[in-house]
Chain A
Amino acid sequence: MSAVDAALPPSRLRRFKRSRSRSAARSWWRQPTMLIGLTIAAIWIVVAIFAPLLAPHDPLAQDFAITQAPSGAHPFGTDELGRDILSRVLVAARNSLPLAVLLVLCAGTLGTTLGVVAGYVGGWVDGLIMRLADLFSAFPAIVLAMVVTASLGPSTRNAVLALVTVTWPIYARVVRSLVLSIGQAEYVQAFRLHGASARRAMWKEVLPNVMGPIIVLATIYLADALLLLAGLSFLGLGTQPPTPEWGSMISVGTQYFQNWWMATFPGLAIFSAALAFNFIGDGLRDVFDPQSQIGSGARGGSESVEEDA
């Protein structure tokens, strides 16, 4: 369904879904924003998979009919090299969406692993990991990413690498405090009293319960990842031309300011995809976090989690 579902091993996901009560499952569908988000996300995933078939023109084919306003032949108009913008927007989905998923997967895995280690091992290891997290979050993501990509050279790979470097602390913090608080919970203590080793308790009881918040966080940060990647490309530090990319298309649009269609349509693409992920994340939050039934608001939930710890 959504990219996040695909990101989880099916066994764990099933276990996870089974553990939810029926009423929660029903409230899923009662939320129109969740439905809208799922629909838009599904459309984008279909587009990303079948883009070459859906695109009316070759996204790289240049033509003498440059900077043409939207018309029947080119519904989104043409760019400064006469390329069809609709085709470019569609094909760019193959580039931007998997990259955002990749970024969230890498940062999520790294952050979760370090968070579990920090919470589980404790002591100086915990101190070291958390100070590192503080360090990397002392810079605004885009500034540090800008420096990293500028140093390593602008490319798609370096943009992802840079953003992984700056986003893993988000996951590490949340996972660490969850591991700490769930580790204290009575059902985990009871499991331990039955003779389970700490490691076994971690795998059987703690980790499955950490996954819920992590999925919510990952969905919401999928939207963020999309925006950050597009921002870096907009600054010329991400995916390089001629590969179609939403952020860099907008960047070209700034130079052809009077031709509104050049920037508007790629921007709408980013906006709709990010909105879809935020809608889904917001809905998942209500399902996975019974607390948020009262206050389904706070983004990411890292704050409330940290206060608990």
Chain B
Amino acid sequence: MLLLIGITLISFLLTQAVPGDPALANLGQHPTPESIRAFHEKYGLDDPLPVQYVNYLGNLVQGDLGVSQQTHQPVTDDLSKLVPATAELAVFAIVFSTIFGVGFGVLAALKRDRAVDHGLRVFTLAGISVPMFWLGLLGLYLFFFKWGLLPGGGRLDPTTTPPTDVTGFNTVDALLDGNLNTFWDAFKHLILPGGVLVLYSVSLISRYTRSAVLEVLHADYVRAARAKGLSEFTVVTRYILRAALPSIVTVMGLVFANVLAGAVLVENIFNWPGIGQYAYKSAVSLDLPAIMGVSIFIALVYVIVNLIVDLLYAVIDPRVRLS
């Protein structure tokens, strides 16, 4: 709770440190003194700072984040439209990176110091070293411009009718509609931006999984399981991965954070209408309510994810007690 108040205070103070007048940034080329005064009046910009903050908090508690000066829509409306797009991208990235990351990590640990391990080590180091925005651009150039295999940005082809809005995830909604063409189109749009995010997360997960697996690989109970004659598959999934699970859950929190941060860059390259692009657009146009809304929302998601990780931790690892 204290953390949340701190977060709102920080984002509020930051946006107040703006030397530029948001009225000038939003009123076009030739603002008149009257229009500037009206703008200030409308957004309460002339009130003393503490009054503005308390007003903001009061509205926030009622779920009102103010009105964006750019889209002229309530920020909560903007966010609720954009969040599903980012969430779809994030879920895609997290699901695929978990599958491959855990797989690679286990493989590297089992084949420790062999060629596979060294290869994966170089691959994962490369994965965390490559600038995401550059990789995305390269992907666009090759797969869209050169070979025409994948679409060039956005969530759907302009000619495709959007599916009925149920979950906000285009792929899921298309399946609910039973429309395979739309599903395929939405999926193809996900591949490049999602893939860029996956590469980074795969590297993180795989490195953590490898070290977690190595820690238990030669434990007595694992040897005992092998001695019992259990199959390698059972030993790995039931014994080794079970023990490595807390570490993997911990890294998931980190991965989630990185996916959200990466979304800011990736959404801008792929013209993906999510909160990353919204955050960027509102930051460059000094749209204060929108910047505050987005940063508070993202921080809130962060806090919740970390809480979930902690709770999961207690469920998975019987040694951890919730106090």
List which B217-269 residues lie within 8 A (CB) of chain A.
247, 250-251, 257-258, 260-261, 264-265, 268-269
Separation of A146 and B133 alpha carbons in the complex (Å): 15
Separation of A150 and B15 alpha carbons in the complex (Å): 9
Separation of A270 and B265 alpha carbons in the complex (Å): 16
Knowing A235-B268, A294-B215, the reply to whether A250 touches B134 (Cβ < 8 A) is yes
Q: Which of A139, A152, A271, A296 contacts B134 (CB 8 A)?
A: A271
Whether a CB of chain B sits under 8 angstroms from the CB of A129 is: no
Whether a CB of chain B sits under 8 angstroms from the CB of A227 is: yes
**In the complex the two chains form, is A223's CB within 8 Å of B134's CB?**
no
Separation of A149 and B291 alpha carbons in the complex (Å): 12
Knowing A131-B2, A139-B302, A303-B250, the reply to whether A297 touches B210 (Cβ < 8 A) is yes
**In the complex the two chains form, is B133's CB within 8 Å of A150's CB?**
no
State the majority secondary structure of interface residues on B.
Answer: helix
The count of residues in chain A whose C-beta lies closer than 8 Å to any C-beta of chain B is 55
Separation of A141 and B258 alpha carbons in the complex (Å): 9
List which B10-27 residues lie within 8 A (CB) of chain A.
10-11, 14-15, 17-20
How many Å from the CB of A5 to the closest CB on chain B? 20
**In the complex the two chains form, is B261's CB within 8 Å of A150's CB?**
no
> Could you say which residues of chain A place their CB within 8 Å of the CB of B175?
none
Whether a CB of chain A sits under 8 angstroms from the CB of B212 is: yes
Separation of A227 and B133 alpha carbons in the complex (Å): 10
A83-91, A117-125, A180-188, A254-262 - the one binding chain B: A254-262
> Could you say which residues of chain A place their CB within 8 Å of the CB of B258?
140
> Could you say which residues of chain B place their CB within 8 Å of the CB of A131?
2-3, 6
B279-312 interface bits toward A, Cβ cutoff 8 Å, 1 = contact, 0 = none: 1100110100001001100110011000000000
Separation of A147 and B288 alpha carbons in the complex (Å): 10
Whether a CB of chain B sits under 8 angstroms from the CB of A292 is: yes
How many Å from the CB of B17 to the closest CB on chain A? 5
How many Å from the CB of A20 to the closest CB on chain B? 21
How many Å from the CB of B133 to the closest CB on chain A? 5
Separation of A125 and B147 alpha carbons in the complex (Å): 59
Whether a CB of chain A sits under 8 angstroms from the CB of B184 is: no
> Could you say which residues of chain A place their CB within 8 Å of the CB of B294?
143
Separation of A138 and B298 alpha carbons in the complex (Å): 8
Knowing A147-B15, A151-B17, A236-B284, the reply to whether A264 touches B303 (Cβ < 8 A) is no
**In the complex the two chains form, is B133's CB within 8 Å of A234's CB?**
yes
How many Å from the CB of A184 to the closest CB on chain B? 20
Separation of A131 and B214 alpha carbons in the complex (Å): 33
> Could you say which residues of chain B place their CB within 8 Å of the CB of A148?
14
Separation of A227 and B134 alpha carbons in the complex (Å): 10
> Could you say which residues of chain A place their CB within 8 Å of the CB of B141?
257, 260, 263
> Could you say which residues of chain A place their CB within 8 Å of the CB of B286?
150-151
> Could you say which residues of chain B place their CB within 8 Å of the CB of A260?
141
> Could you say which residues of chain A place their CB within 8 Å of the CB of B260?
140, 143
B61-69, B80-88, B124-132, B163-171 - the one binding chain A: B124-132
Whether a CB of chain B sits under 8 angstroms from the CB of A231 is: yes
**In the complex the two chains form, is A33's CB within 8 Å of B121's CB?**
yes
**In the complex the two chains form, is A147's CB within 8 Å of B250's CB?**
no
Separation of A277 and B295 alpha carbons in the complex (Å): 31
A140-181 interface bits toward B, Cβ cutoff 8 Å, 1 = contact, 0 = none: 111110111111110000000000000000000000000000
> Could you say which residues of chain B place their CB within 8 Å of the CB of A52?
none
How many Å from the CB of B114 to the closest CB on chain A? 14
**In the complex the two chains form, is A152's CB within 8 Å of B19's CB?**
yes
Separation of A257 and B126 alpha carbons in the complex (Å): 24
> Could you say which residues of chain A place their CB within 8 Å of the CB of B303?
138
Q: List the B residue with the shortest CB-CB distance to A231.
A: B265
**In the complex the two chains form, is B133's CB within 8 Å of A231's CB?**
yes
Q: Which of B17, B105, B265 contacts A152 (CB 8 A)?
A: B17
Separation of A295 and B212 alpha carbons in the complex (Å): 7
**In the complex the two chains form, is B210's CB within 8 Å of A295's CB?**
yes
Whether a CB of chain B sits under 8 angstroms from the CB of A106 is: no
Whether a CB of chain A sits under 8 angstroms from the CB of B138 is: yes
**In the complex the two chains form, is A298's CB within 8 Å of B11's CB?**
no
How many Å from the CB of A271 to the closest CB on chain B? 5
**In the complex the two chains form, is A298's CB within 8 Å of B211's CB?**
yes
> Could you say which residues of chain B place their CB within 8 Å of the CB of A294?
211, 214-215
How many Å from the CB of A255 to the closest CB on chain B? 11
**In the complex the two chains form, is A295's CB within 8 Å of B126's CB?**
no
18 A-B interface contacts by CB (under 8 A): A135-B3, A138-B299, A138-B302, A139-B295, A139-B299, A140-B302, A147-B295, A234-B133, A247-B133, A250-B133, A257-B140, A263-B141, A267-B135, A275-B129, A278-B128, A294-B211, A295-B214, A297-B105
List 5 tightest A-B contacts by C-beta distance, closest first: A295-B211, A267-B134, A297-B211, A140-B261, A150-B283
19 extra A-B contacts, CB within 8 A, seeds A235-B264, A263-B138, A267-B137:
A139-B302, A140-B257, A140-B261, A142-B264, A143-B260, A143-B298, A144-B295, A147-B15, A150-B18, A151-B17, A247-B131, A250-B134, A250-B137, A264-B138, A267-B131, A282-B125, A297-B209, A298-B211, A303-B208
